[in-house]
Amino acid sequence: MSKTVPAERLRAAVAAGLDLLGENRVQEAAAKVPEVPGARWHLVGPLQSNKARRAVELFDAIETVDSVDLAVRLDRIVGELRPGTRFPVLLQVNVDRDPAKAGLDPEAVAWALERIGELTRLEVRGLMTIGRLVAEPEAARPTFRALRRLGERLRRSGLPLGPELSMGMTDDFEVAVEEGATIVRIGRAIFGERPAG
């Protein structure tokens, strides 16, 4: 996670081989992307539909697709801005059904995948979740395990879902990797504490 990290530090990270960067906000990414050549950028924060066009312009993938409506909008924009390509997305799942978090309810993912699978310009590479804030990393394991099992069930049923699992952050990424994470969102462990405010 590169949010709040200045571009010069991100350039150093890319030079050291860390080329996949995640941003929470489209506006912050718009300022950084031109300043950090050689990086690949994922949107890992909520995407409002009015920022969808700018997100497709800036990012290499969007990990926070949380509705069929948003997917349809992205599909149309990709057709306009990146004709002939399939744009990588992940479906955000609210595994713990936390009302404070975005994402599809686990029971709705199959239905959403059926509809999104009919879109020709998006490629659903996998699933993403935000784990619960817990005192001990081990307490996050049920969330990560549930996302992995959901992905396995969906793929077995023949739905168009890639193998990626984006889950785990600085405090719990080891547990997430044990449960199958292929993308982890680590910021503080690499770049240090974020400035307050």
Q: How many domains does the chain have?
A: 1
Q: Give the pLDDT mean for 62-75.
A: 96
Summarize pLDDT for 132-167 with one digit per residue, the tens. Answer: 888 898 999 999 999 999 999 999 999 999 999 999
* Residue 197 belongs to some domain of the structure: no
CB 147 within 8 A of CB 167: yes
Q: Give the pLDDT mean for 27-34.
A: 92
Sign (positive or negative) of CA dihedral 175, 157, 129, 162? positive
* Residue 27 belongs to some domain of the structure: yes
Q: What is the pLDDT of residue 196?
A: 55
What's the distance, CA 151 to chain centroid?
15
CB 124 within 8 A of CB 117: yes
Name the residue range of residue 65's domain: 7-191
* Residue 196 belongs to some domain of the structure: no
* Residue 2 belongs to some domain of the structure: no
Instruction: Write out the DSSP string of the chain.
Output: --TT--HHHHHHHHHTT--EEEES-HHHHHHHGGGSTT-EEEE-S---GGGHHHHHHH-SEEEEE--HHHHHHHHHHHHHHSTT--EEEEEEB-TT--TTS-SB-GGGHHHHHHHHTT-SSEEEEEEE--PPP-SSGGGGHHHHHHHHHHHHHHHHTT-S--SEEEEEETTTHHHHHHTT-SEEE--HHHH-PPPP-
What's the distance, CA 106 to chain centroid?
16
* Residue 1 belongs to some domain of the structure: no
Q: Is residue 68 scored above 60 in pLDDT?
A: yes
Q: What percent of the chain has pLDDT over 90?
A: 70
Q: Estimate the crossing angle of helix 68-81 against helix 109-116, to 10 degrees.
A: 20
CATH number of the domain that 74 lies in?
Answer: 3.20.20.10
pTM for the structure as a whole: 0.92
Task: Tell me the two tokens of residue 19.
Answer: 């080329």
Confidence of residue 71 (pLDDT cuts 50, 70, 90): very high
* Residue 138 belongs to some domain of the structure: yes
Q: Is residue 197 scored above 60 in pLDDT?
A: no
Q: Is residue 81 scored above 70 in pLDDT?
A: yes
Summarize pLDDT for 82-131 with one digit per residue, the tens. Answer: 999 999 999 999 999 998 888 999 999 999 999 999 999 999 999 999 88
Q: Is residue 7 scored above 90 in pLDDT?
A: no
Q: Give the pLDDT mean for 48-69.
A: 95
Rounded Cα distance, 64 and 88, in Å: 11
> Residue holding tokens 């974020």?
194
Task: Tell me the two tokens of residue 136.
Answer: 């001990």
